[in-house]
Amino acid sequence: MTQTLHKKQEPTITSVTDLPTSEAKWVTLQKIEYTDQTGKARTWEVASRKTRSAKAGVDAVAIGNILLSPNRAPSTLLVIQYRPPLDAYTVEWPAGLIDENETAEDAAVREFKEETGYEVTKVLSVSPVQAADPGLSNANMQMAMVEVEVPELEGEGEQVLPEQRLEDGEHIERVVIPLGELYEKLVEYSKRERFIVAAKLFHFAAGMDFMKTQKYGL
Amino acid sequence: MTQTLHKKQEPTITSVTDLPTSEAKWVTLQKIEYTDQTGKARTWEVASRKTRSAKAGVDAVAIGNILLSPNRAPSTLLVIQYRPPLDAYTVEWPAGLIDENETAEDAAVREFKEETGYEVTKVLSVSPVQAADPGLSNANMQMAMVEVEVPELEGEGEQVLPEQRLEDGEHIERVVIPLGELYEKLVEYSKRERFIVAAKLFHFAAGMDFMKTQKYGL
């Protein structure tokens, strides 16, 4: 993964300017006026996506995935990509916006194929709708958990993976991590310069690690 | 919890209007121009908070907590509050913005006291910085995991809890959940009308549940 990133040039921000709400295409700012529990009038500022699927009523789906290969411990495929809002490489599960007329499950299968090149073998579950960052935005998402049966994987971390079907401008590196080492690997990624792990993935891994190491008799 | 919420009136949104970037106090929209990995010039729209602490360089802290009471199974305290961006009650771990000159750990101890009334007994860990919603915003956060020793708790879910020190406009209900039932309880909350669980908390609980129920030999 690192090798491939370094073959290309590093993305560089050339300017950051205030964006008038009226000119924004993907995101908007809104002012909510509301009456609170005590009857008092209050306001709240919110950032919203302009792209929410009407059918799903949900912005995005993240794809928790279990890669089952004949010659590997159960693993998970993560994607690493440059994210301009953070000027950093994020480590995430594959994810994407739900298109008009798609369900979260449809979008999970489509996005997984596009971003990783693998076909989902089985959708194990689709979570309830969750609030992505409730103090700041109305963004919401669902997590699909999927199993993916794959052929023998080669190499240590730098596997030969199938071809992706990326949209213009998408540069997504893929890395396969043993599920049993997920938490430790994410802590390692967090220490790398210009890398940051997405909170949802980190929290899932922290929950796994908590369960594994807790001394509360759970 | 439900009882208390219903004693008061339901919050109601009275208007939603586009908010010009120049008038926003808490949030802003920006246009990022950048050069991607292939040398091509691209743009990205980002929502940012205007309140980031310079000392911490991090917006917020969430407080994963283990409540230890002489007469209860190890539990966790969740907060439920009306969130205007979603027009819904969110179920979250206590959390808050990091003030100027605070570290994430300082903020965790302060916010936990303010939102729950309890003193943190011990900070077990503070996570690396995580990206809250990397496609949409530059918002970032750290998770602190804390232990809180509390006196005997009464009742079933509707405990007598210490007094909160809430800021004006904060209406935060607290609920104590056995840690071993966290995932199941969050799924139940998700089914209630006008309730939504925050993604980070849900992912942590899903990770716990995954570890407990997985058949992959982890």
The tens place of each residue's pLDDT in chain A, 218 residues long, gives 444 444 468 999 999 999 999 999 999 999 999 999 899 999 999 999 888 877 778 999 999 999 999 988 999 999 999 999 999 999 999 999 999 989 999 999 999 999 999 999 999 999 999 999 998 899 999 999 999 999 887 765 555 577 778 777 778 899 999 999 999 999 999 999 999 999 999 999 999 999 999 999 99
Interface contact B49-A136, CB threshold 8 A: yes
Say which CATH topology domain B2-9+26-212 has.
Answer: Nucleoside Triphosphate Pyrophosphohydrolase (3.90.79)
Average pLDDT, chain B: 90
- CB-nearest to B133 from A9, A29, A139 is A139
| pLDDT confidence of residue B170 | 74
Distance separating the N- and C-terminal Cα atoms of chain A: 37
Q: In chain A, which residues have their Cβ closer than 8 Å to the Cβ of B136?
A: 27, 47, 49, 85, 132-133, 137, 139
Residue A90: C-alpha distances to residues A35, A79, A194, B36 (Å)? 38, 8, 9, 15
Please check whether residue B213 touches A, CB under 8 A: no
| pLDDT confidence of residue B6 | 44
**Range scoring the smallest mean pLDDT among A21-35, B40-54, B85-99, B102-116:** B40-54
Question: Tell me, what DSSP letter sits at residue A192?
Answer: S
A51-213 — its CATH code? 3.90.79.10
| pLDDT confidence of residue B2 | 41
Q: In chain A, which residues have their Cβ closer than 8 Å to the Cβ of B36?
A: 11, 82, 169, 171
Give the residue on B whose Cα is nearest the Cα of A189. B128
Beta strands per DSSP E along B72-185 = 75-83, 88-92, 95-97, 122-126, 130-131, 140-149, 173-178
Question: Tell me, what DSSP letter sits at residue B56?
Answer: T
Q: Which residue has the tokens 């802003």?
A: B28
Q: Which residue has the tokens 């570890």?
A: B211
Where do runs of H (alpha helix) occur along chain B?
2-7, 104-116, 182-191, 199-213
| pLDDT confidence of residue B3 | 41
Binning pLDDT at 50, 70 and 90, where does residue B110 land?
A: very high
Interface contact B47-A12, CB threshold 8 A: no
Give the residue on B whose Cα is nearest the Cα of A75. B216
Please check whether residue A84 touches B, CB under 8 A: yes
Mean pLDDT score, B29-51? 93
| pLDDT confidence of residue A159 | 56
| pLDDT confidence of residue A6 | 44
